[in-house]
Structure 1
Amino acid sequence: MVEYYDKELDLALRSIHRASLVTKQILRSLKNNVSAESKADDSPVTIADFAAQCLIISALHSAFPSDQFLGEESAAALRSKESLRSEVWKLVSQVPRDGHFADLAVPKSVDEMLDLIDLGCGSQSGQGRVWVMDPVDGTATFMKGQQYAVCLCLLVDGVQKVGAIGCPNLPFETATSGRKICEEHVDSEGYGVVISAVEGHGSYVRPMTADSIGTAQKINPVVPAEDVSHLDFVGSWPETSSQRMASHEAVGKKLGAQWPGTELWSLQMKYISLALGATDVMVRIPKGRDRYTQIWDHAGGQLIYTETGGVIKDLDGGAIDFGQGRALRGERNFGLIAARPAHFEVIFEAAHEVVSKDSR
């Protein structure tokens, strides 16, 4: 029997909506010039990350007090820096509390705000009901006023059940037309879209406004071009410490595809582009099996894509294991390929040839 998760989906949509509005408010008030703190790994983190994580957990923890949470941020920086803490508290304490948001819990004090953020530091096992979130995926592009995502996924014993991703800079017209998604083509007047899925029930896109979410429109499976040379690969092309970018290019060229394809920085926005039919293929080839990626960069987005008919497997042909805790480790899931069924096998074979050559 397929469960509907109606209450979970409703709260996921509205909590993501509220968090997305906060991030958009920051962008507009600072004219896309967002200051950042440095985390331990030197990646940028803004007041938006902290405020969004707090608000998402606040709404869900009030409704599901026994559930676990797994988020990217901890409140350590806020506890040690009063000025930063005050900025985040100002955002959190001024969120809308009526109408569409009336029953969404809000922390009553600074201490409660900090404790809620730190609830996301738990759940190492991946078992039971775990809400995984990335409050701002693509912080670097968020700071430029480009594409980013506010992400949430409910895992039950390591299986994706509900996913909701806010894309505050993605125009509804772009999301529903299959047109290319560009970093610079943003919804400057509106509030973007929220895209969701429940396991076994398909994926849907809804426009977000300042005080409500619009009517859901189902995302229908996309039929890609028959010729693999016409497939559009989505990625971010600068070399990283974990991914073999040259190997990604080698797969594309082996298939005769135009290179580079569509460039998007946020990993969750890559899944959204695949789900909407704006791109066709994503390949991720790590530099070794000792590499890992964070679970919040994939949970929810993968569900949304597979619910539109897409296929995702690791480079060994296995399913992605979301029961690993905070990280998806290379020993269990080495890399991945995301593509439509019609072309998956030929892409998989091309990737294997490239990986075999790399390992010689």
Structure 2
Amino acid sequence: MSTPYAAELALALRTIHTASLLTKSVLRTLQNNVSAETKADDSPVTIADFAAQAVIISALHAVYPDDKFIGEESADALRANGGLAERVWDLVLQARELSSAVASASGDLQHVQGHEGPQGTTTLTFPASKTEMLDVIDLGTSTSTKNGRVWVLDPVDGTATFMEGKQYAVCLCLLVDGVQQVGVIGCPNLAFDVHGPLGQSKIHEDLVDQAGYGVVLSAVKGHGTYVRSMHESSLAEPRRISLDQVQPKDWSALDFVEATIGKTSLLQPEHRTVAETLGTKWPGTVIWSQQMKYVALTLGATDVMVRLPKGKERFTFTWDHAGGQILFQEAGGVIKDLDGGDIDLGQGRKIEGDVNFGMVAARPWAFTRVHRAVKEVLERRTR
């Protein structure tokens, strides 16, 4: 029996592989001296962000022209800066050359998810001109995720650490009527032994795959999560990831994954109090990229993620969570908001705090106790 969404999975794998190679080549060519613009929220945007978004959307739109897209970037900065647009176009042309050397990820799909899939070569479509590239990037400005098929992407999640040559993620997720069905995330800088025992390998910013191309994780709803090494011309054999393979820990060894201390608007002092309430140290693992936090959870390198906003007026962006959540859930993890509800990704470009206030993600054996500790800490804070 074929895997549901087998064709979408195959194309997503090939596309993320190519976009991952492209972003990695930028780092190596420029030796981490990456040219950046500044967005309205003051976060840096590199030429790699724009080029990767163009590559991903172009490939998907050619095959699924009726699908919608939500991406982090728009082409406004490129239309206003011809020199920047030209540098991005050069990268898109480079990606086309990289893609021609990449072996098909779909021809061996039965090994990707454990089910028979379509055979043959998945050929990617690229923009034919710089003008088309700008129009393709702007296809990612859709606003609705509630109905129909919507691809959510973050071409480079963790741009600040990407610019430092540290961890980042190339992310893609297919939502159907607001529900994750396919998730693929490339981690080009992640040095991770895909054949080693789960739960014994740590993930941190400086654990960088200098010689290779990192790993890619993929999941289809109801069919598990897989990890594969990425090579220059192919994807390696997959390994199914199940958190059942990771033994429960003593509570004192529970590992909380956290953003860079002092660099987030979340309530980090309360995060620390939750950990201390449970008898463990804080922070355990520190990673800037939100999607890399989900990857670390999925691979058993950390155990818990808590996100406590300052108030219900706060929001988080959908592309920071779509894809990573299905990877963790299909591996056996649990994710709920602070009221115990499922995260609603059908809200559009933002996950609003008055719909889903905060998040707790944890391995099943720890989730209930962690969630209870979070609520107790918040209740004490509001007294």
Q: What TM-score does the superposition give when structure 2 sets the normalisation length?
A: 0.91
Give the one of 288, 293, 303 matched to 1:280: 303
Question: Comparing 150-159 with 171-180, which one deviates more in the overlay?
Answer: 171-180
TM-fit CA distance, 1:123: 3.4
Cα distance in 2 for residues equivalent to 1:346 and 1:14: 40
Aligned to 2:108: none
Aligned to 1:316: 339
Question: Comparing 188-197 with 233-242, which one deviates more in the overlay?
Answer: 233-242
Aligned 8 A contact 1:152 1:299 in 2? yes
Cα distance in 1 for residues equivalent to 2:79 and 2:338: 41
Deviations 1:111-142 (A, max 9, x none): 10000000000132432100000000000100
Provide the secondary structure at the position in 2 that maps to 1:323. helix
Determine whether 1:110 maps to 2:112: no
Give the one of 98, 103, 112 matched to 2:100: 98
Aligned to 1:214: 236
Question: Comparing 167-176 with 135-144, which one deviates more in the overlay?
Answer: 167-176
Consecutive unaligned residues in structure 2, runs of 5 or more: 105-121
Aligned 8 A contact 2:149 2:175 in 1? yes
Residue 2 to residue 248, structure 1, CA distance change in 2 (3 Å) = farther
Consecutive unaligned residues in structure 1, runs of 5 or more: none
Q: What TM-score does the superposition give when structure 1 sets the normalisation length?
A: 0.97
Provide the secondary structure at the position in 2 that maps to 1:74. coil
Residue 256 to residue 15, structure 1, CA distance change in 2 (3 Å) = same
TM-fit CA distance, 1:3: 6.0
TM-fit CA distance, 1:238: 2.4
Residue 21 to residue 241, structure 1, CA distance change in 2 (3 Å) = closer
Cα distance in 2 for residues equivalent to 1:174 and 1:80: 43
Provide the secondary structure at the position in 1 that maps to 2:66. coil
Aligned 8 A contact 2:162 2:168 in 1? yes
Aligned residue runs from structure 1 range 106-185, under 5 A = 106-173=126-193, 176-178=196-198, 179-185=201-207
Aligned pair count reads: 360
Determine whether 1:191 maps to 2:190: no
Question: Comparing 341-350 with 234-243, which one deviates more in the overlay?
Answer: 234-243
Aligned 8 A contact 1:225 1:231 in 2? no
Residue 350 to residue 298, structure 1, CA distance change in 2 (3 Å) = same
Residue identity matched to 1:198: V
Provide the secondary structure at the position in 1 that maps to 2:173. strand
Cα distance in 2 for residues equivalent to 1:198 and 1:2: 12
Aligned 8 A contact 2:296 2:302 in 1? yes
Question: Comparing 207-216 with 5-14, which one deviates more in the overlay?
Answer: 207-216
Determine whether 1:56 maps to 2:78: no
Deviations 1:78-108 (A, max 9, x none): 0000110010000001222425367100100
Deviations 1:1-26 (A, max 9, x none): 99611000000001000101110000
Cα distance in 1 for residues equivalent to 2:20 and 2:360: 29
Residue 175 to residue 358, structure 1, CA distance change in 2 (3 Å) = farther
Residue 110 to residue 175, structure 1, CA distance change in 2 (3 Å) = farther
Aligned to 1:205: 227
Percent of aligned positions that are identical: 58
